[in-house]
Amino acid sequence: MKIYNNKRAVEFSFNWLFAVILGVVILVLAVYAVTKMISTGGTETGTIASKEIGILLNPLEINFESGKISSISIVTETRIYNKCDNTGTFGNQIIQTSQKTFGKFSEPSFEVKFPNKYIFSGNYEEGKKFSVFSKPFDFPFKTTDLIYLISVDKKYCFVKMPGNIKQELKNLNSSNLLTENCFNSADAIKVCFDSDTGCNITVSYNQGYVEKNHTRVYFETDALMYGAIFSEKDVYECQAKRLMMRTKELANIYNKKAASLEQKNCNSNLDLGIFGILLGNYKTSRDLSGLFIKSNEIKNANEAATCRMW
Amino acid sequence: MQTKQLLAGCGRMIKIRNKKGQFKVQQMAFMLIAVILFFALVAIFVLAFQFSSMKEKATVLQEENALLLVAKLADSPEFSCGNSFGETRANCIDFDKVMILKQEISKYKNFWGVSNIEIRKIYDFGREKTCTSSNYPDCNTLKLIESTSSGYDYSNFVSLCWKEQKKTGTGQMLYDKCEIGKITVRYREKI
């Protein structure tokens, strides 16, 4: 580089110009690559976390841990997104996560799908620790265990609940599912049974519906009632549909089993074929009450049968 | 760049570039290619490393899933005995129900996230007799989900129960028969 006496004239040789341009290009590319890698790394970590959460819920999905509360702890502040699709034979439980880095939540990870899980929660739960418990869903045979996922930072205050629900919640012994002296707590979500003054969620236990954010969803069995309380309408309706899809497939299996055992003089006389058709016609939670009546008929018939199917 | 114009003998104008400048341009071009190649190689190396570690993580997750699943699979509704054999039995597989499940297995291919599920009677030491609707229950192995992919197996012991007919003096008698069995799940290794 030559600097002449004239201060306004600075001559760059081609070498210098080339080096500067190339240097800038390389630096820009390097910064871009590092940013992309950090973002890909975040997505990768989130996707792995989503898969791990799903796998950790395996013991809850299959029976034994029913009625106990467990917790999932994550090192960084995390959002667990709960999504659901009801395509295919069983639909899918979709889990996504996003973690807080530099005070901001990253983009949600890739969708991780589980066809055999049914999680009820808000659209997303946020925190470092999450409470998880499950309840069996029998309709009339065991279909699956429903999983409830709540951030420990979220408190639910149950008011005027029936005795069996109170006992069940007490047995869970959870710090965020409160049953006594919580109505005046400002940060608690109030869940009231058959009353609606100052409540965030109203449960009509006898008529079988839950009202939340001016929307109503219907339930049958306590397992679905908890689902309706803890989840948003879209998630609840989708999961209820998926449950009916799985119940339909199980009804088909039991129907075929009954037919094969009939050849061995093991009669059960259950209306499972019709039940399967009714389950196939399920659209929204409003259809649950009709199905529940049929389910109870089949349950009684199975209990009375000489050859029980389940 | 300095150029000289010479009048050639035939009358045409010919441009002759400075050889030193030409050499520098060539040098730059080679340098540019070298720099690009270097960064491309570094990028390939980093991506290959990341990809292999991702595959490893995916395999670990599959393994974890298989391990947790095999311990509980017998109690899932598609397998469990429930109360159909007199009383509630834990870790018990209803063989009659699973035989029906085998007919419907195309719907359940990706349901549990494993590549193979096999149920075997333990105290049947004869050669392997795969269960079909024609030889059931005189068989010892039921291949519920089959695939040829390589992977690792996890097994768990279970009760295997079914309704069996026995000839009596007055006719046929139906009774509950249970044996010890083994359920094996295989997870697919990410290659």
**pTM to 2 decimal places:** 0.84
Q: Answer yes or no: are the C-beta atoms of A18 and A24 closer than 8 Å.
A: no
How far is Cα B15 from Cα A196, in angstroms, rounded to an integer? 95
List B residues 27-66 in contact with A (Cβ-Cβ < 8 A).
Answer: 28, 32, 35, 39, 43, 46, 50, 54, 57, 61, 64-65
How far is Cα A201 from Cα A179, in angstroms, rounded to an integer? 14
The 8-class DSSP code of residue A109 comes to -
Q: Answer yes or no: are the C-beta atoms of A191 and A157 closer than 8 Å.
A: yes
Q: Answer yes or no: are the C-beta atoms of A127 and A78 closer than 8 Å.
A: yes
pLDDT score for B1 = 43
Asked which of A100-114, A278-292, B26-40 is least confident by mean pLDDT, the reply is B26-40
- Does residue B11 surpass a pLDDT of 60? no
B95 touches chain A (CB under 8 A): no
Query: ipTM more than 0.90?
Result: no
Q: Which of B57, B99, B172 sits opposite A48 (nearest CB)?
A: B57
Q: Which two tokens stand for residue A227?
A: 């689902």
How far is Cα A237 from Cα B182, in angstroms, rounded to an integer? 38
Residue pLDDT, tens place only, B94-133: 999 999 999 999 999 889 988 999 999 998 777 889 999 8
- Does residue A64 surpass a pLDDT of 70? no
Residue pLDDT, tens place only, B155-185: 999 999 999 988 887 778 889 999 999 999 9
Torsional sign, CA B103, B104, B105, B106: positive
- Name every chain A residue with its beta carbon within 8 A of the beta carbon of B71: 59
- Name every chain B residue with its beta carbon within 8 A of the beta carbon of A62: 72-73, 75-76
- Distance from the Cα of B164 to chain A's closest Cα (Å) equals 8
- Name every chain A residue with its beta carbon within 8 A of the beta carbon of B107: 89-90, 249
Q: Which of A17, A29, A62, A139 to mutate to test the interface with B (most CBs of B within 10 A)?
A: A62
For residue A140, say if its preceding peptide bond is cis, omega within 30 degrees of 0.
yes
Band the pLDDT of A18: cuts 50, 70, 90. confident
How far is Cα B25 from Cα B23, in angstroms, rounded to an integer? 6
3-state DSSP call for residue A204?
strand
Q: Which two tokens stand for residue B54?
A: 């991702």
Band the pLDDT of A26: cuts 50, 70, 90. confident
Q: Answer yes or no: are the C-beta atoms of A71 and A137 closer than 8 Å.
A: no
Residue pLDDT, tens place only, A77-96: 999 999 999 999 999 999 99
Band the pLDDT of B15: cuts 50, 70, 90. low
- Does residue B151 surpass a pLDDT of 90? no
List A residues 216-255 in contact with B (Cβ-Cβ < 8 A).
Answer: 249-250, 252-254
Give me the residue spans of the domains in chain B. Answer: 62-188
H or E element, residue B116? strand B116-121
List A residues 68-107 in contact with B (Cβ-Cβ < 8 A).
Answer: 89-90
B18 touches chain A (CB under 8 A): no
CB-CB under 8 Å, B107 with A89: yes
Strands B116-121 and A119-120: unpaired
Q: Which residue has the higher pLDDT, A236 or A14?
A: A236
Find, among B145, B94, B54, the residue nearest to A45 by Cα.
Answer: B54
Q: Which two tokens stand for residue B63?
A: 């393994």
B96 touches chain A (CB under 8 A): yes
Find, among A282, A295, A273, the residue nearest to A239 by Cα.
Answer: A282
Instruction: Note every long-range contact of A268-272, with CB atoms under 8 Å and residues 24 or more positions apart, other chains counting.
Output: A268/A301, A268/A302, A268/A305, A268/A306, A268/A307, A268/A308, A268/A309, A269/A301, A269/A305, A270/A298, A270/A301, A270/A302, A270/A305, A270/A309, A271/A297, A271/A298, A271/A301, A272/A298, A272/A309
